[in-house]
Structure 1
Amino acid sequence: MTTDTTATQRRSGPSYTIVVALLGAFLDGYDLVIISGALLFIKADLHLSPGQVGWVAATAFAGMVVGALVFGWLTDHIGRAGAFGFVLALFVVGSLVSALAVTPLMLIAGRAIVGLGIGADLPVSTTLIAESAPRHTRGSMTGLMQVFWFAGATCSGLIGLGMYALLGADSWRWMLASAIVIAAIVMVLRQRVPESTRWVKAHHTTPAATAVPRQTWSILFSPGIRAALAFSCLFWFLVTIRGAGYNLYTPTFLREIGLSGVTVSLGLSTIVNLVNTLAALIGVYYLDRIGRRRIILWCWAIPTALTFVLAAISGGNAIAMFVMICVSALPLQILAMALFALSVEPFPTLVRGTAQSLSSASGKAGGFIAVLAFPPLLAALGWQNMTLTLAAIMTAGLIIGLLLKIPETRRRSLESLEHDLAQPSRPAEAP
């Protein structure tokens, strides 16, 4: 470890690193929800077709898939802090292009660049938190990514309401540009974040470190690790499919089911995100007390059943539908918190960023599919049949998850996990 790195760590301890990393999730939630409010006005201003609306919403997710895969791999080779300092520059450029867009193509290009920045940031942030937090609170610390995500989403709703009150339909450009201010602040704070001591130690003491680019995939798909990777990728994909369409199109959905008015739809959407923030905060208490796999399976089974209920009441009272959408999503916030932990804990330090990037990319791919398919499926199937289809997909995912056996990571050191998972004969956790 260099003298400069040691001095930086004295100035900026693990708590500072964790808080600054969590701000990346805040920015992610802020941006992806601010576009949902802006879409209420962009469609008319730029004369977007229904297909173009879908692409504006989905392109950011496509960018996230690419950003996650590239920068997750990169952070294993140049270091966590090395990637951490500049990934948000992509976000700033993309937000500026989006805010200044005068054509649908320009807007879509801006959202793609934003997606690259967000996708690049999440694997680095989650990995840094896991490698900085004490083992007895590591689940809660990584799980706070979900709390900060919804805190950012709630904040974006409040700012969107304020901008609409001041500027009316012209506020969408300012909504998109407002994320630049937050990104700039976070970029400044990140200059003091030191390199992960675990990453430095692994690269200085592991003879195979120089061969990591060739060995990454063989490590990730080794018998002791691949089940955990499959489980994490599966549920990130599923939970984002379930949540992305409803979250992104909540204002539009509220208007279509009769809760009309921009202020009403934006206000109710903000309340939903605030409730989800509180639900995620409750999950912080349990993450280091209950096993990750158990939390994930239970918190998936409950909304799966409730989604069937939602399908049954679709086409009925608009308020009842809205309430059921909100209630069925609450367990997913706790599930996502456990997934943040599980996407980094079981994997060796030398490939931890890559492993998290695969989980993150799986989730963003699910989001891309959901937001792109949501409008045409709604038009073709109606709310009831679309929701029933979603419930069937959720059921299939639950069955697969029950079949995948993974080890327990709660309150175990990353070093002991790395040692044990290298042994193919180690038994997996019971259902």
Structure 2
Amino acid sequence: MSSVFAISLAAAAIGAVIVLIARLRLNPFIVLFVTSIVMALIAGMPADKVVGSFEAGAGHVLGHVGTVIALGTMLGKMLAESGGADRIAITISNFAGRDRVDWAMMVIGLLVGLPVFFEVGFVLLIPLVFVLAERTKMPLLRVALPMGAALSVTHALIPPHPAALLAVSAYHANVGHTILYGIVIGTPIAIIAGPLFGRFAAARVPLTEVNPLAEQFVNHEPLANLPGFSVTVFTILSPVILMLAGSAADVLSTPHTSLNTVLHFIGNTDIALVFATIMSFYVLGTARGFSKETILRFTNECLGPTALIMLLIGAGGGFGRVLVDSGVSKAITDAALGAHMPLLILAWLLAVIVRVACGSATVSMATASGIVGPILAHSTGVSPELMVLVTGAGSVALGPMNDAGFWQIKEYLGLTVPQTLKTWSVLETLISVFGLVFCLIASVFVH
């Protein structure tokens, strides 16, 4: 398959998805499924392999993200119904002041995002976003986008995220230096893409649609007897603490020992979230006077609005897998490798290409670092730590529609596809472009 044909086919497929969903108002799941099938057939993929490829991609994404969304939504519902989200929102807004709530959410996003995947941090913090926006009468986007930007920055630039650790290994970078450079470079990027862009976007993209998810997380009448701030924060941060323990398991204990195995187990995303969710049933449920029947009703009713989100995330994963299995992604990557350019730019560009081709920032970063790592080993004058950061920056570019985060943002915030492109896709591109620019500037001083 020629590179020109692969690029044209991928562009046509993505363009078709945008037009069919945004203009013709067709069901997004049907559009993603049908477009994936047609694209694979045009690319020459055997017909008996096409559907299996889509199903494998959808199943792989949903196997992780589906569980995370379900558990995170239950935890968020308990926070909302108990008044815990109100307590945190009131405390944050009183401390930061109404006009700086967006900055406060960015800081919270940076802290929570350090050890957790984007999807996990998002479902943990979105109830706070809804409540803060309601209590302060601030536009939802002005509160939500800084949180999303912070989570995306930490996901892309700072270990111990698995993709960043893979890149650290591929480039033989120093983990400590990578974290330090990531914080120094990532913080101004989060400010630009978060509070600054959030205020710009909120003023130009008004949200008029009724948002059922926001309504279920917001108690319109504040509770008189709210749970304590400390116990509420501990509940929401407990999965973060467990995941940190899992990430540091090999430092805290000898590998392959019983303690090491236990730490890795409790640090697993799903285990940490289910622990926090079950704990919330008591701390924010039974201890608050809710009956078992009421808690069951809360956890059942909150899952309904997430059904479409899960379907769309799965379809995005299927779309990305078809791009890879059909050979379209490889042909585009080969074209980028054929163009000789500085390594920082090459790593960034490859990550961008894989990001557009498969949607996943994690896959993008792992793939690009795997390709460029051997080239870096035979080069001099380039900082391995900056290579990790620039690859991470490229891995979040464009916020494409085959990325789970795109549909998560769209559905949770009640956006249309064009609104999501104008807000989330632009935000992700700002992170990517400024990440490249700052890494190029830093390369003058760091070798």
Whether TM-score is above 0.5 comes out as: no
Q: Please, what TM-score do these two structures have when normalized by structure 1?
A: 0.31
Q: Please, what TM-score do these two structures have when normalized by structure 2?
A: 0.30
